[in-house]
Amino acid sequence: MSSPRTQAARRTRIVEVLGTRSIHSQEELRSVLADEGFSVTQATLSRDLVELGAVKVPASDGRSAYAVTSERPPSRPEAAVETSRLARALHELAVSIDHSLNIVVVRTPPGGAQYLASAFDGAHWGSILGTVAGDDTVLIVTRGVDAGAEVAEAILAMAEGRAASPPSSGRTTSGGKR
C-alpha cells in the first residue's frame, strides 16, 4: 500500500512514530520522516508538532522525548489530525453559534458550511450524532436531549482557541449529562 505525501498523511505518520518510538529532537523526527519519503522543513515540522499538540515529556532513558498527549488518546492515528483540522476550521469559519436542546447551529461565511461540516464529521466527536450543511449554515444533531448547550460551548471554546479538542466525555446520556 502506498501513502500519498500529503499534510494529513505526514501528520498521521508523525502521530504513529511518536506513539511507537522515543524521538528526542525535531531533527531526529525529520530524519525518520525523510527515510519514509516525507521531505519536510524544520519550520513545517515545528508547525505540525504544534497542531498535533505534541509536547516533550520525560522518557524512560531520563531524556525528554516528543509525545502527542490528550486526556483521551485518539482511537485512530489520524484523529489528532482531524481534530486539529476542526479547530482551525472553526477559528477561520465560525461566525455565530447557537443551540436548542440537542441541536446546534453554526453560521459561516457563504460557502464555508460544507467544509466545516466535513471537519466535524472527520473529527468523530462522540457527542455529535451527525451534521447537515447548507451554504452558510451547519446543523449539528447532538446525542442526548439537552446536549446542545454543552456542545455549543465546546465549539465556541475551540473557535476562540480556548480548547484544542472536543471534550473527552465522548457520549452523553439521554439526559445530556455525563
Residues 87, 20 share a domain: no
Residues 59, 92 share a domain: no
CATH of the domain at 16: 1.10.10.10
99 is in which domain, residue-wise? 79-159
- How far CA 122 is from CA of 42, 51, 89, 128, 177, in Å, comes to 27, 16, 12, 11, 24
For position 79, what pLDDT does the model report? Answer: 56
For the whole prediction, is pTM greater than 0.75? no
Instruction: For residues 157 and 168, give the distance between their C-alpha atoms in angstroms, rounded to a whole number.
Output: 14
Residues 145, 95 share a domain: yes
Closest of 102, 101, 100, 167 to residue 130, by C-alpha: 102
Residues 93, 30 share a domain: no
Closest of 173, 140, 169 to residue 155, by C-alpha: 140
CB atoms within 10 A of CB 29: 23
pLDDT per residue rounded down to tens, the chain (178 residues): 466 788 888 998 998 898 888 899 999 999 999 999 999 999 999 989 988 888 888 766 778 888 886 533 444 455 555 777 788 889 889 999 999 999 999 999 988 899 899 889 888 888 899 999 999 999 999 988 889 999 999 999 999 988 766 765 443 333 333 3
Residues 95, 39 share a domain: no
Does 171 map to a domain?
Answer: no
Count of domains observed in the chain: 2
Sequence-separated contacts (24+) of 8-11 with Cβ below 8 Å = 8/78, 8/81, 9/38, 10/38, 10/40, 10/48, 11/48, 11/51, 11/52, 11/78, 11/80, 11/81, 11/84
Cell (9 digits) for 146: 439537552
Does 175 map to a domain?
Answer: no
Residue tagged 500529503 (cell numbers): 6
